[in-house]
Amino acid sequence: MAEINNDINQAKYILDADQLIGLPTETVYGLAGNGIKSEVVSKIFEVKNRPHFDPLILHSYSLEAISAYVKEIPETAKVLAKAFWPGPLTILLERNEKVPDLTCSGLDRVAFRIPNHPKALSLLQILDYPLAAPSANPFGYISPTNSQHVQQQLGAKIPFILEGELSEVGIESTIVGFENGATIIYRLGGLDIAAIKKVVGEVKILPHSSSKPDAPGMLKSHYAPRKNIILGKIDELIPQYPKLKLGTLTFSKFYEDVEVSLTLSRSRDMHEAAKNLFSLLRKLDESNVDLIIVEKVPAEGLGNAINDRLQRAAVKEKIV
Ligand code: TXA
Ligand code: MG
């Protein structure tokens, strides 16, 4: 099992020895290693059981440090960075020769993010390289939002997890990039699109495609529990399964007559809902229910990013 503590010097020691650690961030925990060394990046893919066509995000502590790995930083990227970094936003930039092919699956752009987490930032500041860090879950499974989630799933494969408490945002970063002068959103996430629009004007949201390498993080089935899960209207679905033990996950409504009924936010607070999403899905997956039934939350603000994940979690043909 991995050792868990909050010593950033120990984390640095392990990373400098080309090993991997569990890294806390405000979105989800990452599986982190030296992002500019191919051998280390290769280990990340292996431990996560992740296909090589799915590129990684590099994490750094300043725009200046990032500029050493990219050809240029467009004006709009600078504006976004100033407004939202550190924070739950990932920006795609033209990479230079220092970034190995493996890190970005051979694509011309590399994804960068400055996480808003005190432990992660202090660690990144004492390292000589950016950290590649996908979410620290086996590929296709629910993302981790505390150190125990990482321990349960990857603890046997990594030596160390940096303790960083519960992830405040709870869902992955929003991913943006630029094409022909337009700002494109590739993945809905922890930073609300409305906030981005306020700063850069109109944006284009890419419809999610199933398995193309240039469609970031957007495999159809993802964030998925191992149990069967259905997305729909819970009131209509419950009577259809009289013989099964049911678990429900809703925005705020509680169901007395099912085995396990969980709510994302009793007070209907979208940020609280995002923060609870993955740990509650895990709780249902670990419970004794036969079937998990989930319902969409209102499509407002982060609600769209939450619904995106619910939809992907409920796709039947799972990758794992
Ligand atoms: O919040 C987050 O972003 C978390 C924390 C740990 O920072 N990380 C995360 O990483 O969600 P991951 O690997 O689960 O998702 C990263 C997604 C990938 O699915 C990938 O498709 C997309 O970012 N991506 C990375 N580099 C890209 C590139 N060069 N072009 C297009 N998409 C890219
Ligand atoms: Mg992920």
Q: What is the DSSP string of 271-311?
A: HHHHHHHHHHHHHHHHSS-SEEEE-PPPSSTTHHHHHHHHH
Query: 67-76, 199-208, 284-293: lowest mean pLDDT where?
Result: 199-208
Q: Which pLDDT belongs to residue 216? A: 43
Residue 207 pLDDT class (50, 70, 90 cuts): confident
- Residues 127-152: tens digit of each pLDDT: 999 999 999 999 989 999 999 999 99
Residue 193 pLDDT class (50, 70, 90 cuts): very high
**Are 3-171 and 228-313 in the same CATH fold?**
no
Q: Which pLDDT belongs to residue 318? A: 43
Q: Which pLDDT belongs to residue 187? A: 96
Question: How many Cβ atoms from other residues are within 10 Å of residue 285's Cβ?
Answer: 18
Using most ligand atoms within 8 A of CB, pick from 172, 174, 179 the residue to mutate for ligand 1: 172
**291 beta partners:** 228, 246
Length of the chain in terms of residues written: 320
Task: Name the residue type at position 40.
Answer: V
Summarize the confidence of residues 242-263 as an average pLDDT. Answer: 97
CATH superfamily of domain region 3-171: DHBP synthase (3.90.870.10)
Q: What is the DSSP string of 29-71?
A: -EEEEETT-HHHHHHHHHHHT--TTSPPEEE-S-HHHHHTTBS
Question: How many Cβ atoms from other residues are within 10 Å of residue 312's Cβ?
Answer: 19
Ligand 1, CB within 6 Å, residue ranges? 25, 27-28, 30, 54-57, 90, 92, 104, 107, 109-111, 113, 115, 133-135, 172-173, 175, 186, 214, 216-217
214 pLDDT higher than 70 = no
Summarize the confidence of residues 108-123 as an average pLDDT. Answer: 98
Return the structure tokens found at 7.
Answer: 């010593």
Distance 320 CA to ligand 2 centre (A): 13
The CA distance from 249 to 251, in Å, is 7
Nearest CA residue ID for atom 18, ligand 1: 217
Q: Which pLDDT belongs to residue 219? A: 56
The CA distance from 264 to 219, in Å, is 24
Asked whether 294 and 283 are in contact (CB, 8 A), the reply is no
Using most ligand atoms within 8 A of CB, pick from 61, 69, 90 the residue to mutate for ligand 1: 90
Q: Which pLDDT belongs to residue 316? A: 58
Q: Which ligand is nearest to the CA of 175?
A: 1
Summarize the confidence of residues 255-260 as an average pLDDT. Answer: 96
Locate all alpha helices (DSSP H) within the chain, ordered by sequence.
8-16, 38-48, 63-67, 75-84, 118-126, 147-154, 193-200, 234-237, 270-286, 303-313
319 pLDDT higher than 80 = no
Q: Which pLDDT belongs to residue 209? A: 45
Q: Which residue has the tokens 């529990």?
A: 225
Q: CB under 8 Å to 84, separation ≥6 — which residues?
A: 191, 195, 196, 199
Please give the annotated binding residues, written as ranges: 27, 50, 59, 113, 133, 135, 143, 173, 187, 223
Question: What class, spelled out in words, does domain 228-313 have in CATH?
Answer: alpha beta
Using most ligand atoms within 8 A of CB, pick from 25, 116, 175 the residue to mutate for ligand 1: 175
The CA distance from 15 to 188, in Å, is 30
7 pLDDT higher than 90 = yes
Query: Chain-wide mean pLDDT for the chain?
Result: 94
- Residues 30-43: tens digit of each pLDDT: 999 999 999 999 99
CA angle 309, 21, 224 (to 5 degrees): 20
Distance 140 CA to ligand 1 centre (A): 13
Q: Which residue has the tokens 């940096």?
A: 162
Nearest CA residue ID for atom 19, ligand 1: 217
Ligand 1 atom closest to the Cα of residue 175 is 23
Q: Please give the model's pTM, rounded to 2 decimal places.
A: 0.94
**Rounded percentage of the chain residues whose pLDDT exceeds 70:** 94
Residue 233 pLDDT class (50, 70, 90 cuts): very high
Asked whether 32 and 134 are in contact (CB, 8 A), the reply is no
Residue of 157, 309, 318, 291 lying closest to 218 (CA atoms): 309
Nearest CA residue ID for atom 17, ligand 1: 217
Residue of 131, 106, 121, 133 lying closest to 45 (CA atoms): 133
Residue of 70, 69, 61 lying closest to 127 (CA atoms): 61
313 pLDDT higher than 90 = yes
Residue 92 pLDDT class (50, 70, 90 cuts): very high
Residue 208 pLDDT class (50, 70, 90 cuts): low
Residue 225 pLDDT class (50, 70, 90 cuts): confident
The domains of the chain are located at 3-171, 228-313
317 pLDDT higher than 80 = no
Distance 236 CA to ligand 1 centre (A): 36
Distance 3 CA to ligand 2 centre (A): 23
- Residues 43-83: tens digit of each pLDDT: 999 999 999 999 999 999 999 999 999 999 999 999 999 99
221 pLDDT higher than 70 = no
Please give the annotated binding residues for L-threonine, written as ranges: 27, 113, 133, 173
Distance 130 CA to ligand 1 centre (A): 14
Peptide bond into 298 cis (omega under 30): no
Distance 217 CA to ligand 2 centre (A): 7
